[in-house]
Chain A
Amino acid sequence: MRVQDAFLQVWHRAATFDPARGSAKAWLVSIVRYRALDAAQKRSREILTDDPGLADGAEDFDPVAALAARRDGNRLHACLETLEERNRRAILLAFVDGLTHSEIAERITTPLGTVKAWIRRGLAALKTCLEA
């Protein structure tokens, strides 16, 4: 994933931004993130970046702790904590490491159908908790 590709896409898609549908930040994040996911999937589990200047610092990243430390992350953090451990772990692997269903299944040596069910149940529980 080349960072400048994502920024150029932001430039080209600026006209599609609609402030009524969310913040500019969320819009930017979604573009960059989907672009990164596409690139990662094309290369199939290879490193996410070819920018030599970008250090690969994500490995030590603890998303739950980072969320807890943020004021705007309290609610999501609390709801993630209510999930079953395996469901939460699968969701975090997906979001933080950018893994697909099948990549998670391979990573944690678990049948694909099981991983899909964990994530689906985890997302449903997360939604219920966040909307409570």
Chain B
Amino acid sequence: MIPDDPTERDALAGEYVLGVLDRASRAAMAAALEHDSDLRRRVEQWQDRLQPLADAVPPVTPPDDLWPRIEAGLPRPPHDVVTLPARTGLWGNANFWRFSTGGMTALAAGLAALMLLRSPAPAPGYVAVLTAPQALEASFLVESRPRAGLVLTSLTHASPAVGRAYELWALPPGAKQPVSLGLIPAGGRLALDSARIRPECRHRPADQSGAGNRLPDRPADRARGVPGTAGRAAVSAIT
């Protein structure tokens, strides 16, 4: 179905992006794209070429009840993910950050979001989007994988100012101060396996009996109904 000839493959990729293929061909392409990296690259190039056309389509204002419907369909109840108000409270306070980072200066304008690292059984993992206060576009994507740990990816390729670096922080449940999970490398991608995350921040996979999810420093009854670890994460820029 998928041709070998480069010209044919490129034409097919263009037709796929354009949307002219019939259902069977689209499905065949979608299946091939899962494993065919050359074809995937060609499709991505066509997406880039035609992107201005997609951008030129006039925006349509969605109905007011759209977001509640989307929220209702998300795998977690809405109260599981809460965005911190910008520049208010402890997280927006520069003195607090300076105090808590042991001499390093954290910017109050750092990116802050609250995320829950809760692991239900079976755990699908979580995704949190971190958006800077007052920013329109999301800056980082933090993905929590049940067994693999945390993966943070920059969405913007934005670099911190010269002499500064971004750092990922977590606030374990009950903790008064956030703990650092590490500096974010220049490439904007930070992967932390479970072993590198301090136990109190760790995303704990469920064991077979379902009894292994409680926090080690918490009595069992307090963890009832909340398997896994609830915590918060934030990204700040430090010097």
A119 contact set on B, CB distance < 8 A = 15, 18, 20
Task: Give A33 to B53 CA distance when docked, in angstroms.
Answer: 12
Chain A residues lying within 8 Å of B143, measured Cβ to Cβ, are 14-15
A26 touches B188 (CB 8 A): no
Chain A residues near B (Cβ < 8 Å): 3-4, 7-8, 11-12, 14-15, 17-19, 21-22, 24-26, 29-30, 33-34, 37-38, 41-42, 51-55, 57-58, 61, 63, 66-67, 69-70, 72-73, 75-77, 91, 94-96, 98-102, 104, 119-120, 123-124, 126-127, 130
**Are B66 and A98 in contact (CB-based, < 8 A)?**
no
Contact A58 B57 (CB under 8 A): yes
Cβ–Cβ contact A123 & B11, under 8 A? yes
Contact check, A38 vs B26: say whether CB atoms are below 8 A apart: yes
Interface residue ranges, B against A (CB under 8 Å):
10-11, 14-15, 17-23, 26, 30, 44, 47-58, 60, 62-66, 69-70, 73-75, 125, 127, 129, 137-138, 141, 143, 145, 151, 153-157, 188-189
Tell me whether chain B's interface is mostly helix, strand or loop, or mixed.
Answer: mixed
Question: In chain A, what residue has the closest Cβ to B76?
Answer: A11
Name B45's closest neighbour in chain A (CB-CB).
A127
B26 touches A120 (CB 8 A): no
Cα–Cα distance between A15 and B148 once the two chains are bound (Å)? 13
14 inter-chain pairs at a CB distance below 8 angstroms, sorted by A residue, are A4-B70, A14-B127, A19-B155, A21-B44, A22-B47, A24-B155, A26-B47, A41-B22, A63-B53, A66-B57, A73-B55, A94-B18, A94-B20, A100-B19
A-B contact count (CB 8 A): 146
B66 near A4 (CB under 8 angstroms)? yes
Please name all residues of chain B whose beta carbon is closer than 8 Å to the beta carbon of A42 when the two chains form the complex. 23
User: A69–B56 Cα gap in the complex (Å)?
Assistant: 9
Contact A29 B49 (CB under 8 A): no
Is A61 within 8 A of B52, CB to CB? no
Inter-chain contact B15/A123, CB cutoff 8 Å: yes
Which B-chain residue is minimally distant from A98 (CB atoms)? Answer: B19
Do B19 and A53 touch (CB < 8 A)?
Answer: no
CB-based nearest A residue for B128? A14
Q: Is the CB of B52 within 8 A of A17?
A: no
Nearest 8 pairs between A and B by C-beta? A53-B63, A66-B56, A73-B52, A123-B14, A4-B70, A14-B127, A76-B52, A37-B19
A residues less than 8 Å from B75 (CB atoms): 11-12
* CB closest residue in chain A, given B8: A120
Q: Which residue of A lies closest to B40 (CB)?
A: A21
| Chain B residues whose C-beta falls within 8 Å of the C-beta of A75 in the assembled complex | 52
Which residues of chain A have C-beta atoms less than 8 A from B55's C-beta? Answer: 70, 72-73
Q: How many whole Å from B152's CB to the nearest CB in chain A?
A: 11
With contact pairs A24-B155, A53-B62 given, residues A4 and B19 touching in the complex (Cβ less than 8 Å)? no
